Amino acid sequence: MAYVTPFTYRQGQSLLHLLDVRCKFFMICLISMSMLSAHLSACFFYFLILLFFFNKAGLNIFATLNSIKYFILLLFFIFIARALTVKGDILFSFYGMSITEQGLNEGILVAFRFFLVMLTGLLFSITTKPSSVKSAVQWFFKPIPFVPEKRVAVMISLSLGFMPVILKQAKEISDAQKARCSDLQKNPVKRITRLVLPLLKKTFLSADSLVLAMESRCYNDDRTDPEFLPSGKEIPFLIGSFIISLSLACL
Amino acid sequence: MNNSKQLKMTVYTSLFVAFIAIGAFIAIPVGPVPIVLQNMFVLLAAIILGPVWGLACVAIYLLIGLAGLPVFAGGTSGIGKLFGPTGGYLLGYLPAVFVTAAISKGLGKRMSSDIIAMLIGSLIVYAAGVPWLKVVTSMTYEKAFAVGMAPFLIGDAIKIIAAAFIAKTLRPVIKL
Amino acid sequence: MQKLIIDINALCHTFSDGYLGIKNVSLSISKGEFVILAGKNGSGKTTFLRHLNGLLLPDSGVIFVNGHDVSKHLIQTRKTVGMVFQDADTQIVGDTVFDEAAFGLENLKVKRSKINEKVTQVLEDLNLFHLKNRSPSTLSGGEKRKLAIAGILVMNPEVIVFDEPFSNLDYPGTIQVLSTIINLNRSGHTIIIATHDVETIISEATRIIIMEEGLVKEDGKPDSLIKYLESYGIKEPCSSKLGLGLQPWLT
């Protein structure tokens, strides 16, 4: 999956890496929520905190930005759209369109908030193992009725496992077809079905053998619970994130 | 449902979760705008897995992305993406997959009924995605339609026809 | 005569399309044997193996594992008879090597501390422990198959069944898997290997069973059957063709 997802878990031993995943989940929800009403100065303050943790986790913020450049482009469009549409004191105008001071401010604020929520999410996915994400999902779903949380956790594992297999097979199928000049085919419906149909058939067959393998290893929904390894610093982090989200919401 | 059949559906549904996630990255170059296959896999999940497992499939996909694993388009994930400008399309998959599956099932899983079901499903995705885009970016409705729907319609038509063929060939193979 | 571990009496299996998979097979296997189940593709080997683990149930006839009727003691059977499937990629459930090995014990709802202890021990025995945090999809072919073996070893099986264990493996991978299998046999496990290519293992086996069209055609010592292999569509090992008898493949 490496080439499609530049942003995935990186091994490490930083504070955030070791923090209990449930605590991180809680923090990310809290902060993202309070971000909705955060002011510019508070946003900037929080940005500095994020920079600190990116640094702590041994990550280069610029490499990070590069991997989300399309999202940043989208934010730029949001900024332009806001700047042009919000009514207020006109700063300057051209070709019948005008940029207002209020529009500019609001555009920056909205784009900045999205940007920060995105960075927070990235920091989480870089420092958290997929398997602990799965365990946390299972833990949070446990009190919710009608959700078979253990099966959901197994399904998350399975689908993450299928992804590299599908990508590998997609590449093989597409190469095999290119070798037989499939590029000459102009009909888009045929192009899609010729890639997807063999891919689905093949992966469904391997899914069938997975079913057998799971059955032979006694799969059932009543399984051992995952274990969590708290680092002992969860309480200060929770308090810290409470303070941050309070200041984001109120400042 | 017996245990073995349930395990089979569990695995098949997980497989479709993977396909939906990967669909965001598989593009088939047709003309100037490449066709991205994600929404086709959502529709296929609907007509192959049925309403309940189809809904579970999309829900788990969104959950994985929301929980921070990089499965949304652009390799990004998390709350920021789901509640970002294009989040409406993602959330729209939920009602779309259920309605598509229910219609396809109700009309008897023929090719023609699959096409009708998928057309309605696609419209539901836009019905959620376009207004969301409008609110977040504060564009006008005309602009939001022009940016967030019009460029994809031809590709969608192609994908629906392709999906109908695929479903027709796949159903006898996987025997659900 | 050693203690019987598998006892099969008049086993028949018909597929839903009316095709006869297994026709009236009766045989028994003692503890500690190293059995090759040879035959062309489509001779019924895989169908036969799946009965040993309760993945398929007989239409008529009975199978006893350790004296228990398989169709009435599924979980017990699956703990006693571990099964390694042909394609290692498609039988992986966990996100990391450690989780993958732990899957079977989690299904049996074993306590987490016991799981960690057992999985660590098995991974160390198979020399996989240094890979424990890796994603299984990034392993080499030989390591993947060893991981599949680890996944069933944690459940303390007495019999290990392999379906084409050397398919798609390179030379080092084949050596790794072969020596693992030999060690398992030496430590008292009963080994059953289904394959259409007996070259690599025939010198290790104590018994060879040849199947054709769902019937057991031959059953005896490898050196007495080696000259008949080719009449059933199985390649005779080179050393035998050259008149050198059975030579170990692993030197």
ipTM reported for the complex, 2 dp:
0.90
How many structural domains is chain B composed of?
1
* Residue range C35-59, pLDDT digits in tens: 999 998 888 899 999 999 999 999 9
Give the model's confidence band at A6: pLDDT under 50 very low, under 70 low, under 90 confident, else very high: very low
Residues of A in contact with C93 (CB under 8 A): 154, 157-158, 161, 210, 213-214, 217
Specify the amino acid at residue B93. Answer: Y
More confident residue, C59 or A251: C59
Q: Is A103 in the same domain as A34?
A: yes
Which of B8, B49, B79 to mutate against chain A (most A CBs within 10 Å)? B79
Residues A96 and A200 in one domain: no
* Three-class SS state of A198: helix
Q: Is A227 on the interface with C (CB under 8 A)?
A: yes
- Could you tell me if A61 and A113 lie in one domain? yes
Closest-CA residue of A relative to B164 is: A193
| Residue C169, domain CATH | 3.40.50.300
Per the structure, the count of domains in chain A is 2
Q: Is the pTM of this model over 0.90?
A: no
Q: Is B66 on the interface with A (CB under 8 A)?
A: no
Is there a contact between A215 and B161 if contact means CB atoms under 8 Å apart? no
List CB contacts (< 8 A) between B14 and chain A. Answer: 154-156, 158-159, 162
Number of cross-chain residue pairs from A and C with Cβ atoms under 8 Å apart: 86
Q: Are B104 and B46 in contact (CB under 8 A)?
A: yes
Q: Are C148 and C137 in contact (CB under 8 A)?
A: no
Identify the domain containing residue B31 by its residue range: 3-174
CA distances, A24 to each of A18, A42, A123, C201 (Å): 10, 21, 10, 51
**A184 at the B interface (CB within 8 A)?**
no
pLDDT over 90 percentage in chain C: 57
Higher pLDDT, A60 or C61: C61
- Decide if A216 and C89 are in contact by the 8 Å CB cutoff: no
Distance between C108 CA and the closest CA of chain A, angstroms: 7
Which single residue is written with the structure tokens 């930005």?
A65
Interchain contact, A213 vs C155, CB within 8 Å: no
Distance CA A121, CA A118 (A): 5
Q: What is the predicted pLDDT for the residue at C83?
A: 93
Distance CA B13, CA B49 (A): 7
Enumerate residues 72 to 91 of chain A having a beta carbon within 8 A of any beta carbon in chain B: 74, 77-78, 81-82, 85-86
Residues A93 and A169 in one domain: no
Strand segments (E) across C79-228: 81-84, 159-163, 190-195, 207-212, 215-220
Same domain for A49 and A99: yes
Q: What is the domain-level CATH number for residue B52?
A: 1.10.1760.20
CB of B33 closer than 8 Å to CB of B155: yes
Q: Which pLDDT tens digits describe chain B residue by residue (176 residues)?
A: 467 889 999 999 999 999 999 888 777 766 666 678 899 999 999 999 999 999 999 999 999 888 777 777 655 556 767 777 788 999 999 999 999 999 999 988 788 999 999 999 999 999 999 999 888 877 788 888 888 888 889 889 999 999 999 999 998 887 77
> Which region among A31-40, B113-122, C177-186 has the lowest average model confidence (pLDDT)?
A31-40
Beta strands (DSSP E) in chain C are: 4-14, 20-30, 34-38, 60-65, 68-69, 81-84, 159-163, 190-195, 207-212, 215-220
Partner residue opposite A121 with nearest CB, options B3, B14, B77? B77
**Residue A152 CB: number of other CB atoms within 10 A?**
19
- Is A186 inside a domain boundary? yes
d(CA C214, CA C211): 6
C-alpha to C-alpha distances, B41 to A95, B87, C237, nearest whole angstrom? 43, 18, 48
Domain coverage including residue A173: 149-216
Q: A155 and A120 share a domain?
A: no
- Structural domain for C163, as ranges: 32-54+83-241
Q: Is residue A208 part of a domain?
A: yes
Instruction: Dig out the tokens for A52 from the structure.
Output: 């600190």
Which of C82, C95, C106 is facing A224, going by the closest CB pair?
C106
- CB proximity A53 to B under 8 Å: no
E strands, B17-175, in order = 27-28, 35-36
Taking CB atoms and an 8 Å limit, are A157 and C94 in contact across chains?
A: yes
DSSP-based three-state secondary structure for B21: helix
